[in-house]
Structure 1
Amino acid sequence: MKNFLFVSAENDAIANCKAGGMADVVRDVPRQLAANGDQVHVVVPAYNRLHHNAFFISDLRIRIRGEESIAYLYEVKPKKDYSGIKHYVIHHPEIVEGNIAHIYNDDPEEPFFTDAVKYFIFNTAVAQAIKQNLFDHVDVIHLHDWHTSFLLFHKRYNLEYSLLKESWFVYSIHNLSLQGIRPLNANFASVNNFFPEIGYEYEVVKDDRYNDCINLMALGIRLADRVHTVSPSYKQDILKPSQKPEFIGGESLESDLIKADQEGRLYGILNGVNYENIRIAEKGKLYPNILRQLFKWIQEESKKYKSDILANTGEKVVCLLDNPPSFIASSVARMTEQKFYFFKRNPQAFKAILNDLAAQNGIFILLGTGEPEYEALMRDISYEHPNFIFINGQSEDIIDSIYLESDLYFMPSLFEPCGISQMLAMRNGVLCLVHHTGGLIDTVKANINGFAFDGDTIDDKINNMVLAFNNVLEVFYTDKPRWKRMCKNAKEARFSWENTVEQYYSQLYTK
């Protein structure tokens, strides 16, 4: 039996600790490991809120900025109890709640300033907890994205935590474009300010573009025993240099990734999705679920755009109760460049799709929050197009209904390390239209279990996106046998965690 420690910024196994798909992975993989008879500990930051009503375990005395500070380890109750898994949070006054999903911070003046502070402290506290043997002897430490890579800095350079060398380190890349770049010197949120006593090798930690900075994503790639991307195709993408905006590849880290690949440390393994013990939406509840959530939101003092929520979105949904559409297209995603760059680059293309839908009595439902400029774009377009319903919020009930009741799930991602939304839609037999990139290549097979578009240039991709959407509507309305056959293929596709974790054991967790 192995003893695992998962270290992450998110964990959807506990309440209110999710911003994206990484939280799903950190929820699901430990469950599969435990089902195989292993012991798993999962630790995330408390963000000044998740430790409330939790069980106190221990003080963690750490050194930051040349002084002793105290963090606190708590065990928290998960949403569902599984034998062999324990969930923890680490509290410290400077590990603050963020303004993005109450987790991450957006610092436009100094990117990653606040997050670097809290993850420097979090990683140090995790190292201390391992030293105090609070997770028992850890065989494998599985790190997720740049927020956790500083544990490898402590392993390599901090004599206080030499015990970390006894564990095997796996580093998963969920989104290479976010790299946690911070100054080495002359800044509060810098390595030398937080750890003035620790010597390190400049060439190992430095960012190749900003030589006075540390690149925490690069640190994980350079120092982990195994490096993992969340789909095979994304691994191939990031070994090549980016050619923006047409192609998003290694984002300046391709040389580090090529080196890791040549050393036999880099693996691409497709994420899985659950097929058992899942939340099942009730058919026919999409519009009531939307309206119920809208009325909850307009009662919240902090909720913005209340008049928009009620007068625009709500009014449209009420009309659909008596006049249901014949076709529902949908998307659920954060409002970011990664997810909706094509719409931002050419809003007329998206409007053309909406017009084509309107001609067929179809609607488009988009749910998500994110960058203000993308939210504003979607709100403006929703005012122009009665068949576009923009739900500017997050709701599991609405999301579950969308995955169940849509006719088409649309993922025009500029790049996609893996993607889970397409798997969740396909699980219900809903066809997907995707940009042919990353993990979407590994899951959606064009004209077999879904639809795809691509192109040599951005303009080609956008034109082909509109053409592909027209093709979707043509198949739906003129070739029902083919549509039903493709839906059956989508529902029968399997991306199981059992298979994924089997590959983890053989490729990531074995020396």
Structure 2
Amino acid sequence: MNNFLFVSAENDAIPDCKAGGMGDVVRDVPREISKRGDKAHVVVPSYSRLHKNGIFKTKLEFSLRGIPYTAELYEVIPKKVDVNITHYVIHHPEILEGGIAHIYHDDPTEPFFNDFIKFIIFCTATAEAIKIGAFGDLDIVHMHDWHAAALLFIKKYHPNYQDLKKMRYVYSIHNLAIQGIRPFYNNHASVNNWFPEIQLDHKALMDYRYQDCINLMAVGIRLADAVHTVSPSYKDDVLLPSRRPEFIGGESLEVDLQKADNEGRLFGILNASNYGNIRVAEKGLLYRNTVKALFRWLQDTSKKYKADFLAHTGEKIMQYVGNRPKFIVSSVARLTEQKFYFLKRSPEAFEKILVRLTKVEGIFMLLGTGDPDYEEFFREMSYKHKNFIFTNGQSEDLIDSMYLETDLYFMPSLFEPCGISQMLAMRNGNPCLVHHTGGLKDTVAHMKTGFAFSGETYDQQIKNMVNSFDEALTLWENDKPAWKKIQNNAKKARFTWEKSLDEYYKSLYLL
């Protein structure tokens, strides 16, 4: 029996510990490992809240900033108990929750300041837990994104953690754009402040653009035994330099990634979707669930600043309760540059899409929160366009209804390491319209399982996006059998963890 440890900022196997797709992966991969008869431990920060109903396991004593620190390891009960999987959180008063999903900080002045501190404490406490055998004798340590990469720095350079070298370390990149960059010196969130006893190897740790800083994403790529991108096409993308906005590639780390590839350490393996254990949604509740969510948010004091807008959305949705639109386009995503750059930079293209939809008595439903500029842009568009319904919040029931009752799922991502939304829409037999980038290339085939656009220049991409939208609607209007075939192909497509884990075991874990 092999013994695994997963180290991550998110884990959707436990309640209230997910901000994005990484939480899904950290939930699903250990379950597949457990099915194979191997043992998995999953550890995340407690964010000062997740330990409250946990079972205390042990104190973790270590040194940071030249002073003693004591953290606590708790076992927590997951949403669904699996044999051979144990879930843990690490609690320390300085590991605080942030404003994004009660996990990440969103302080606009120094967004990585608080995050850097809490993940440094978390990684050092995890190193101590490994050292004292809290997870048993480990064979594989699998770390996710920059939040867990400091573990590799500690293992290589910290005199107290040389014992950690014997197991295999795997590093997964979920989003290369967020890299965990902080100064080496002269800052409370600097490496030297937290590890005064370590002689810093600047060349091995530095960010190429900001050479007085560590780049933790780079540390993960440089020091792991195996590096993993979450789709084969995203691997191809990140080996090339970015050309913003036309192309998002290696984001200044392409040289490190090329080196890892040349050394046989870089692998592109597609994330999968969960086809069992699906929340059951009923058809016909889309508008009711929208109204329910709006009423709930209207009672939330933190949403008072947008109460007028929530009421406006409620008024718009009511007209469809007894008078269903003929066609529904939907998107569910965090409102960020990655997801909606095309629409915000080219509102006229978005307007063309909405005008085209009116010709088939269709509506566009968007659900999400995120960047204040993007929220404001979509609120303005909602006031301007009768058939654009922007639900500015988060609701699992409503999301389920949207995935179930949409006719076309729209995902115009600027870049997409893997993407889970397209798989969830396809699982319900809904074709997707996507930008052919990263994992969207590996999952959506144009005119077979959905629709896709691309282009060499930004202008071409925007033009092709509008044309592909028109092509999809024209097919739906004029050729129902062809549309039905695409729906069936989408529903039959399967991106299973079983298949992905075969690759993990062969390439990443060498088992």
Alignment partner of 1:6 is 2:3: no
Q: Which stretch shows the higher mean deviation, 254-263 or 351-360?
A: 351-360
Shift of 1:299: 1.3
Aligned to 1:270: 270
Contact 2:309–2:379 (8 Å) recurs in 1? no
Q: Distance in 2 between matches of 1:27 and 1:446?
A: 30
Task: For 1:306-455, list aligned pairs within 5 A.
Answer: 306-455=306-455
Contact 1:294–1:309 (8 Å) recurs in 2? no
- Structure 1 unaligned segments of length 5 or more: list them: none
Q: Distance in 1 between matches of 2:211 and 2:383?
A: 47
Task: For 1:114-133, list aligned pairs within 5 A.
Answer: 114-133=114-133
Aligned to 2:487: 487
Aligned to 1:16: 16
Give, as a single letter, the amino acid of the residue that structure 2 aligns with 1:393. Answer: G
Contact 1:298–1:309 (8 Å) recurs in 2? no
Shift of 1:310: 3.9
Q: Which stretch shows the higher mean deviation, 491-500 or 276-285?
A: 276-285
Shift of 1:346: 0.7
Q: Distance in 2 between matches of 1:178 and 1:356?
A: 36
Give, as a single letter, the amino acid of the residue that structure 2 aligns with 1:467. Answer: N
SS at match of 2:319: helix
Contact 2:310–2:391 (8 Å) recurs in 1? no
Aligned to 1:153: 153
Shift of 1:304: 3.9
SS at match of 2:172: strand
Q: Distance in 1 between matches of 2:101 and 2:123?
A: 21
Aligned to 2:49: 49
Q: Which stretch shows the higher mean deviation, 230-239 or 458-467?
A: 458-467
SS at match of 2:68: strand
Q: Distance in 2 between matches of 1:111 and 1:104?
A: 9
Shift of 1:308: 3.1
Give, as a single letter, the amino acid of the residue that structure 1 aligns with 2:319. Answer: C
Give, as a single letter, the amino acid of the residue that structure 2 aligns with 1:289. Answer: N
1:441-475 deviation line (CA, Å, top 9, x unaligned) = 00000000100011111111111111111111101
Alignment partner of 1:284 is 2:284: yes
1:180-202 deviation line (CA, Å, top 9, x unaligned) = 00000000000000010012322
Give, as a single letter, the amino acid of the residue that structure 1 aligns with 2:466. Answer: V
Shift of 1:495: 0.2
Aligned to 2:190: 190
Q: Which stretch shows the higher mean deviation, 397-406 or 102-111?
A: 102-111
Shift of 1:288: 1.0
Contact 1:283–1:404 (8 Å) recurs in 2? yes
Aligned to 2:40: 40
Q: Distance in 2 between matches of 1:206 and 1:303?
A: 41
Q: Which stretch shows the higher mean deviation, 314-323 or 255-264?
A: 314-323
Shift of 1:407: 0.2
1:383-434 deviation line (CA, Å, top 9, x unaligned) = 0111111111111111111111000000000000000000000011000000
Aligned to 1:65: 65
Q: Distance in 1 between matches of 2:94 and 2:372?
A: 26
Change (3 A) 1:310 1:221: closer
Aligned to 2:174: 174
Shift of 1:109: 2.3
SS at match of 1:78: coil
Q: Distance in 2 between matches of 1:103 and 1:311?
A: 29
Give, as a single letter, the amino acid of the residue that structure 2 aligns with 1:457. Answer: T
SS at match of 2:59: strand
Aligned to 1:140: 140
Q: Which stretch shows the higher mean deviation, 100-109 or 422-431?
A: 100-109
Give, as a single letter, the amino acid of the residue that structure 1 aligns with 2:300. Answer: E
Q: Distance in 2 between matches of 1:68 and 1:304?
A: 43
Contact 1:31–1:82 (8 Å) recurs in 2? yes
Task: For 1:240-279, list aligned pairs within 5 A.
Answer: 240-279=240-279
Give, as a single letter, the amino acid of the residue that structure 2 aligns with 1:160. Answer: N
Shift of 1:11: 0.5
Q: Which stretch shows the higher mean deviation, 303-312 or 219-228?
A: 303-312
Aligned to 2:297: 297
Shift of 1:291: 1.1
SS at match of 1:120: helix
Q: Distance in 2 between matches of 1:304 and 1:256?
A: 46
Q: Distance in 1 between matches of 2:243 and 2:493?
A: 32
Structure 1: 4+ residue segments shifted above 6 A: none
Shift of 1:306: 4.5
Aligned to 1:112: 112
SS at match of 1:134: coil
Shift of 1:252: 0.4
SS at match of 2:5: strand
Aligned to 1:458: 458
Aligned to 1:214: 214
Q: Distance in 2 between matches of 1:105 and 1:311?
A: 29
Shift of 1:492: 0.5
Q: Distance in 2 between matches of 1:376 and 1:94?
A: 33
Give, as a single letter, the amino acid of the residue that structure 2 aligns with 1:26. Answer: V
SS at match of 1:302: helix
1:39-74 deviation line (CA, Å, top 9, x unaligned) = 000000011111111111111112111000111111
Q: Distance in 1 between matches of 2:300 and 2:167?
A: 46
Q: TM-score, normalised by structure 2?
A: 0.99
Aligned to 2:474: 474
Q: TM-score, normalised by structure 1?
A: 0.99
Q: Distance in 2 between matches of 1:255 and 1:241?
A: 9
Q: Distance in 2 between matches of 1:278 and 1:305?
A: 35
Q: Distance in 2 between matches of 1:443 and 1:197?
A: 47
SS at match of 2:321: helix
Give, as a single letter, the amino acid of the residue that structure 2 aligns with 1:463. Answer: K
SS at match of 1:40: strand
1:237-276 deviation line (CA, Å, top 9, x unaligned) = 0000001110000000000000000000000000111111
Contact 2:47–2:95 (8 Å) recurs in 1? yes
Alignment partner of 1:81 is 2:81: yes
Q: Which stretch shows the higher mean deviation, 94-103 or 215-224?
A: 94-103
Change (3 A) 1:11 1:425: same
How many equivalent residue pairs? 511
Contact 1:444–1:451 (8 Å) recurs in 2? yes
